[in-house]
Every structure is written in structure tokens, then in C-alpha cells.
Structure 1
Amino acid sequence: MCKKKEKFQIKTLWLNDVLGIAIDQILNKGNLPLTSYYFWPRNDAWEVIRLELDSKPWILEHERELILQEVTKASNDWKKKRIKKSTRS
């Protein structure tokens, strides 16, 4: 069985106090940035990325939902690691 090729890539910049998230579209000849990096907690990265994805009508609704689910997962993982680290200090 052939695995479906991914169309989008979620890029993260995982730092101690900041999580940067950006979205690229995967093309045959490389990646095309769809969003800038948005940094949590400075801004609501999830909401800003949602607005950017909504402004691109060629991205299907279920693709937007999958992207936002992955953004949520990355954000939650980052928060959990940050909390764990602060409780050890």
C-alpha cells in the first residue's frame, strides 16, 4: 500500500521560553512558506495561523483542521515540557 504524500510541513523552533511555529507547503521542487514564524506566548500562534490558512481558499477545510491539530499538539507538548522543567528547578 502506498502512503499518501504529505502536502504541508509544520516547522517548529523549540526554545526554552518561546515556541515558534510556521507552515510550509511541500512541492515537488521544494517547500513554499505559507506563513511566517509565529511565536507563542508572544502572540496566539494558533489563531494567527488559523487566520492565515483561512485566507488561502485553495487549502481544503480538512487540511486546515489537520494542520491546526498538529499546531495544537506541538504547543501542548512544548507547554508540558516547560512545566516539567520548571517543577524540577
Structure 2
Amino acid sequence: MLWNAAALATGVCSASPWWSQQGLDDPGVLRRDAERAKNLGFYGKGCVHPRRTSVINDVFTPTAEEINRAPRRRRHDGAVTAVNA
């Protein structure tokens, strides 16, 4: 987990190193694994089988509340963009 903390400290997005191969037919296993990774600060998760993408996208797509809480930065042209905390 130290490498994830180091990546976050430097502004690098980090993906979960856990490749959950168990329970291909049980999306609940993958959802719990992805939620654990998100709670640990990861920004995404890899998968090999396309059946898994919908669960991973569902877990890691930011909610409206998360987007509203995100830090903002004003660019030199006046536009406001979200930045990683």
C-alpha cells in the first residue's frame, strides 16, 4: 500500500493491483473487491473478462456528491477544472 500512497502524493492515479479471478459468475465478489480497493484510495481496477467492466465502472464512476466535493482549480483561461486531492 505504500506505493499507492506514494503515487497519490505525487498526483499519479493508481489502479488496484488485485485481479479478482474468483467468482466470475458472481458479481458480488467483484463488487466487494472493487469497493475495498476504492476505500483504500485506488482510482480504478483492471479486469480481463468483459463481463466485469460494468461492475467496475459502477463502483469507480464518481457520484454527483463526489464530483461536487472534488477540489477545483481555475486555469489561466478562466475555466474551472477538478483536480485530484
TM score, norm. by length of structure 2: 0.29
Structure with more strand by fraction: 1
